[in-house]
Amino acid sequence: MRNDQEFHIAVMAGDGIGLEVMAPCLELLTAVCARAGGLALRFEAIESGATYYREHGTALSDENLARAAKADAILLGAMGLPDVRYPDGREIAPQIDIRMALDLFAGVRPVRSIPGLSGPLSDPRAQNLDFVLIRESTEGLFAAMGKTKIVDDKIAYDTMEITRAGSERLFDFAFDLTAKRKAAGSPGVLTCVDKANVFGGFAFFRKIFFERAAAFPEIEARAAYVDAMALTQIRNPWDLDVLVTENMFGDILSDAGAALIGGMGVAPSADIGASHAVFQPCHGTAPDIMGTGKANPTAMFLSAAMMLDWLGNRHGEAKAIEAGALLQDAVEAAFAGGDLRPFEMGGTNGLKDITARVSETIHLHSSSRT
């Protein structure tokens, strides 16, 4: 665990472009921590993923999971390859198993525009999106993972599970996060996204949401059906503040959120529990572009910035909060001129160009501060 000198970071680069975006991310992390008063990070590489599964017959060994659990935070690239599957046909997905194993119930997916990088919406208000999707990450439909019941090759059952305890802790986390954003100037509106008009499980989910809302009178609690929210996310996403939803719905809405700000390569995430947290880009291993230099590392950098901020707040370490802000500012400054455009957005800039520009910006920042 953390000692006075350093934070211990478990690094699970994984497969495909996960490996590609992790390497420069560690360099930038070291650079921003040096700028922020010499904060020290100790990286411990932990192997897991599809390639590891191919060689060892397990995607994440108990021993490696235990090593990761001892770290102050886990930084993850991406895992899985389409041709590496369990005998039942599912892709290996240790990044999901970790959420279950370490009880990382709150998947935090910020949808925040990067100035200079336009998404697909032409409305000028879409240039300044800033909302957060919180995805429940340990139950919901994903509770059925590995437990599918198929009867006589005729009918398949995947059972969604929504518990009171799981929902209460999720909503409390979401209300707290909404309150923090409100303190920083956001509207203070939390919307529960569900399908309570059709499923009893979601009616239960919504009921618990409004029960918990009573403990947070300063926050405006609303509810919306997921189909209506899909429409809102595209038609007027600038009206959104914080959304909280079930695992499967969050999986889908968060990719749509990534699209709004330009693509998977710019969408960061954090999976947070009571005593552990994993930070990783929203994207997968993107086998179609691995090895081409086209991977956009921005989401990885922003996830690392979220990690520093989380560590700083959790441990009362101002240097970590400062380092996280430096990294986030450097990413934003790198794109601000509008001339850096990732391949995934139709541009010509890939891993090297984007890393170089962010790195330059970090060094510029540091020389302008000294």
List residues near ligand ATP by CB under 6 A.
17, 80, 264-265, 283-286, 288-289, 294-296, 299, 344
Residue of minimal CB distance from ligand ATP? 284
Q: Considering beta carbons, is residue 283 or 365 the nearer one to ligand ATP? A: 283
Q: Considering beta carbons, is residue 258 or 311 the nearer one to ligand ATP? A: 258
Q: Which of 216, 128, 126 is nearest to 168 (CA)?
A: 216
Nearest distance from C-beta of residue 77 to ligand ATP, angstroms = 10
User: N- to C-terminal Cα distance for the chain?
Assistant: 32
Please list the alpha-helical segments (H only) found in the chain: 17-35, 50-56, 62-70, 94-101, 164-183, 200-213, 226-235, 247-260, 298-315, 318-336, 351-369
Nearest distance from C-beta of residue 248 to ligand ATP, angstroms = 14
Q: Considering beta carbons, is residue 261 or 299 the nearer one to ligand ATP? A: 299
Nearest distance from C-beta of residue 178 to ligand ATP, angstroms = 27
Nearest distance from C-beta of residue 267 to ligand ATP, angstroms = 9
Q: Which of 350, 358, 348, 357 is nearest to 286 (CA)?
A: 350
Nearest distance from C-beta of residue 357 to ligand ATP, angstroms = 15
Q: Considering beta carbons, is residue 104 or 320 the nearer one to ligand ATP? A: 104
Phi, psi (deg, nearest 5) at residue 270:
-135, 140
Nearest distance from C-beta of residue 229 to ligand ATP, angstroms = 20
The string of DSSP codes covering 301-327 is HHHHHHHHHHHHHHHT-HHHHHHHHHH
Q: Considering beta carbons, is residue 36 or 286 the nearer one to ligand ATP? A: 286
Q: Considering beta carbons, is residue 158 or 176 the nearer one to ligand ATP? A: 158
* Helix/strand/coil for 109: strand
Distance CA 134, CA 192 (A): 10
* Helix/strand/coil for 46: coil
Residue with token string 């962010």: 358
